[in-house]
Every structure is written in C-alpha cells, then in structure tokens.
Amino acid sequence: MRTSTFLRFGARAVIALAAAAMLLASVAPAGPGRDGGAVLAALWAAFMVRTFWFHIGLALLPVVAFARWSGSRRWALAGGLLLGWTLLPAAWSWRPRAGPSTDGPTLCVMSMNLLVSNRDIAAVLGRIAEHDPDIVLFQEYTPETDRVLSAALAERYPHRIDAGRDDAFGQAIYSKLPFVGPPVLYPQGREASGGGPAGFVGSGDPQIRAVVDLDGREVVIQNVHFSPPVGAEYFRDQTRMLGWLGAWAGAEVRPLIVGGDLNATPECARVRAVLRGGLRDAHAEAGRGRGATWPDRSLLRHAPGVRIDHLLFRGVECIGSGVGRSTGSDHLPIIAKFRFGR
C-alpha cells in the first residue's frame, strides 16, 4: 500500500513539475540580454526545456499511463494535455503534402557539419555524390579536410572559399555556380557584440557569405555555425549571434539562404523570433517528420534526436527538403531545393 501511494504521489509530482517547466519555458523571453546570475541560468534552463520538448512528452507517456491505471483521473487528464502539447506537433509533421512543381531553374543546397575529428571522407563524398547539390556548406572544416576535399571536388565544384581552422569552427562553401563578387568572411566582431566566451565559436568568428546567380537574380548564401549552449555563458553568446542573424536578414533586400549549425532547435524562443522576422524554415515548408540531425554517433544515434542544423530562406521558395544519411559526423547532413516562385 505504501509503495502504491508513493508511486501515485511520484507520478503526480512529475506531471506537476513538467507542467510548471513547460509553462515557464513558454513565457520566457527570447534572449538574456545583459542579465546574469540567476536570471541567465533560468533562461538557459527554459532553453533546454524547449530543446527537449518532444523528449519530455516521451518521458511523460509511462507516467500518464500509470496515473490513469492507478485511478488518478484528473492527473491523467492533465498529463494527457501535456502529451498533446509536446507530441502532436511531431505527429503533424508527418502530414501528407502536395508534390511541388519543379518548373524552372532550381538551386540545391546541402549543409554538412563534418565534426572536426571525423576521418570518414569517403562517407562525406558519398553523400555529396548521392544528392549532387549545387552548393555545399561545410562547418567544422579543417585544413586537413581541405587538402582531401578540395582535390576530390575540384572538378565538380570549381568555386570555393574556405576559412579552415585546426579547431572545430572552420567553414567552407563549395559551389558549382560562380560567385557574384568575392565571398566574404563576416565576423560580427567581439567588440560590437559585447564579447563572448573563448574556446568555442563565438560572436567574432567568421561566418562565410557568398552571392550566386540563379536565373538572372542574385541570391545571398550565408554559412553559419553558432555557439553550443553547453553552459549559461555560451547560451548568452548563442542568443547574441541569433540576434545578429535576425537583424542582418531583416536588412538584406536580396533573396537569401542561410544554412548551417545553429545549435538550437526550431522550438527555441530565439529561433522562433528569427523566423517571425521573415526567414522561413525549409524543413517546415517542404520536409516530413521531425528532421532530427543530432546526435548521430554512439548509442545516442538510436534515440530520438533534435534538429539543430537548418536551412532558412527568404525571397525564394523551397520545393523539397530532407535529412541525408550518416557521414561519420555526429550531425546528419541536410539538403533543400529552392527556386524563384512563378
């Protein structure tokens, strides 16, 4: 009897805590600004709740089932509402969609976080050959990787720019199409952004930008790799970088495609703010399922992942989006096809 009472109390406590955490995460502001201490920690915690929103729903399934079985109907009802809140969006992502028309010139873009320690170049080349994109955006691009890929892809992708580094924060863009003007490394600048933690990619690190011609019109291509939210300070830097992305995208008048590793999911407040500012999500527009891209290594690859790699766009339309097969990295590649609307 005591064990049964304890389990019922535990199930109710879990449902109540989950509800409180989800409500607080839903009303938390998009970024920490200059807040520190407890406020920054609370906002980081809210970010983590939003990141693992779907996983909270999965964890609640047995708890809600037990509450219903044990006769706690009101708590089971409350838990059922939480299940709908967390799991129904994932179910909706599998809805049937009308097949897009592919009339006119298209631009296929692939984004691939290579993982700095990845040595499976054959898998990387295999995924590129499989999808044959017009443009490939690489993150975690090193000089060692460059020596192999630049030689293997030179004929297919004669136009490229790289900012390879020996750490995990180099980038490169490979393109079949010639660049309109020279590509640029666009750091936000640590002074302008208020600084940021050292040791990870930060506000002052290069984010490569190039321009290509599609059907006689210029399209801006922006490669991105933002800070991983492994702690409150890194979370602060990430929100700063996402704020920069939203501000720049809002000011850019040309069509644009942004691709790379945001280290944040579409459910996170700052990413939602960027999307409300005018950028659209290729996977949300033309993909199916949750589109998880991380992690793809160790036993965790068999668990439901999160979508932290993105292709965002404005001024063009997306006619197809998907997640590629493994490249030996901890991230899966993403691919989307774009064209100008008719």
pLDDT of the chain along its 342 residues, tens only? 466 788 889 999 999 999 999 999 999 987 766 666 888 889 999 999 999 999 999 999 999 999 999 989 999 999 999 999 999 999 999 988 777 666 789 999 999 999 999 999 999 999 999 999 999 999 999 999 999 999 999 999 999 999 888 888 899 999 999 999 999 886 554 433 444 444 445 556 778 999 999 989 999 999 999 989 998 888 988 888 898 899 889 999 999 999 999 999 999 999 999 999 899 999 999 999 999 999 998 888 999 999 999 999 999 999 999 999 999 999 999 999 999 976
Least Cα distance to 212 among 186, 185, 179 occurs for 179
- Residue 309 sits at the vertex; the CA angle it makes with 286 and 289, to the nearest 5 degrees, is 40
pLDDT score at 30: 78
The pLDDT value given to residue 195: 46
Both structure tokens of 290: 């949750």
- What is residue 97's predicted lDDT score, i.e. its pLDDT? 79
Locate 24 and state its tokens: 């607080």
pLDDT given at position 10:
93
The answer for residues whose C-beta is within 8 angstroms of residue 48's C-beta and 6 or more apart is 229
Report the chain's C-alpha Rg in angstroms: 22
* Domain definitions of the chain by residue range: 2-92, 107-339
Which fold would CATH assign to domain 107-339?
Answer: Deoxyribonuclease I; Chain A (3.60.10)
C-alpha distances (whole Å) from 253 to each of 34, 218, 278 are: 30, 11, 11
Q: Does the model's pTM come out above 0.85? A: yes
Report the alpha-carbon distance of residue 184 to residue 206 in Å, rounded: 9
- As to burial, measured by CB atoms within 10 angstroms (0-12 exposed, 13-18 middle, 19+ buried), residue 263 is buried
> pLDDT at position 201, please?
55
